[in-house]
Amino acid sequence: MIETAYFASLATLAVLFAIGVIVSRNTVHSALFMVAVLFCVAMLYLSLAAEFLAVVQITVYAGAIMVLFLFIITMLTPTKEEGPNRLVNRLPWAVLLATAFLVGVSLMIVHGGTGRPPVGAVDGAGGLPALGGELFTRYLLPFELTSLLLVVAMVAALVLGKRRV
Amino acid sequence: MIAPTSHYLILSAVLFSIGVVGVLVRKNPLVIFMSIEMMLNAANLAFVTYSYSLGKVGGQVLAFFVMTMAAAEVVVGLAIISSIFRIRASIDVDDVSSLKG
């Protein structure tokens, strides 16, 4: 029962945020909606016994790739004046959100979660040890090739970003 | 037991289609690129779903490789986009048509 509720709520949120990505007039809003979609998909990975992939998704996809997107968005779109200091109006909301986050995390630390195993993690493919085992034995060549791919991408970015002298 | 596998696959298909619509409809190259990333995520979700339902870890390995490749692709793609649109005034893919026959 709770599994279907978990999936249903995350799926609805993911679809709504995805529609928000393609519908938003403001590009920064699209990027933030995309981060929300990536977060929802990461939570779905958690229910599919892919905890490592969930963490990698949040760290790499939402944390690095979308941040890069936001850098380029702010570099390319024409800047508008923000107006008077809007930080003051948003401070109560920020404090409320931070307090809620702090309370949630403290409860988790003190009580150690709900004590039940994660949703669907008992009958899965084996999680991180199995993933690491496959990655370093059967898929070793593609793994080394991806590191080569990343070096090539870095060199390409440097070359493409250079100013024409 | 999780929600039925078909539900995850339907969600993957819906996210993929939303990404396709985004690529076809939007004119801002950055939103187009984000829609491509959404399609990659939908495919990753399908990979991980099948990995769970078949009990093999190969799907997760492939999803991991797709994520790595997506990172490399975003780097190169954004470098290309920013070097094209650094010169031009407007950010509109319809204007980049000098190769049109």
Could you say which of A37, A76, A131 has the minimum Cβ distance to residue B38? A37
CATH for the stretch B11-87: 1.10.287.3510
- Across A79-93, A137-151, B84-98, least confident range: A79-93
pLDDT digits (tens, 9 = 90+) for B66-87: 999 999 999 999 999 988 888 8
Say yes or no for a CB contact (<8 Å) between A149 and B69: yes
B75 with A154: Cβ contact below 8 A: yes
**Helix, strand or coil for residue B28?**
coil
pLDDT at A121 over 80: no
Q: Are B40 and A66 in contact (CB under 8 A)?
A: no
Q: Which of A76-85, A88-97, B65-74 has the highest mean pLDDT?
A: B65-74
Every domain of chain A and the residues it spans: 1-79+119-124, 126-165
Fold for the domain defined by A1-79+119-124: Four Helix Bundle (Hemerythrin (Met), subunit A) (1.20.120)
Nearest chain A alpha carbon to B84: A160
Find which of A47-51, A53-57, A127-131 is predicted with most confidence, using mean pLDDT: A53-57
**What is the residue-wise DSSP string for A139-153?**
THHHHHHHHHHHHHH
pTM of the model: 0.84
| % of chain B exceeding 70 in pLDDT | 99
pLDDT in the model for residue A120: 42
> How far off is chain B from A130, nearest CA to CA, in Å?
7
3-class state of residue A143 by DSSP: helix
Q: At what angle do helices A127-137 and A140-161 cross, to 10 degrees?
A: 80
Interface with chain B: mutation pick from A13, A27, A72, A158, highest number of B CBs within 10 Å:
A72
pLDDT at A119: 47
Express each pLDDT in A103-114 by its tens digit.
888 887 887 655
Pure H helices in chain A: 2-23, 27-47, 51-56, 66-76, 87-111, 127-137, 140-161
A156 to chain B: closest CA residue:
B76
Does position A35 have pLDDT exceeding 90, yes or no?
yes
Chain A environment of B26 (Cβ under 8 Å): 22
User: Please, what is the average pLDDT of chain A?
Assistant: 85
Amino acid at A8: A
- pLDDT value at A77 more than 80: no
CA atoms within 13 A on the CB side of B69: 13
* B39/A86: higher pLDDT: B39
More confident residue, A45 or A126: A45
Count contacts between A and B (CB, < 8 Å): 179
**Angle at alpha carbon of residue A128, lines to A122 and A131, rounded to 5°:** 110
Cα of A14 vs its chain's centroid, Å: 12
Contact A149 B72 (CB under 8 A): yes
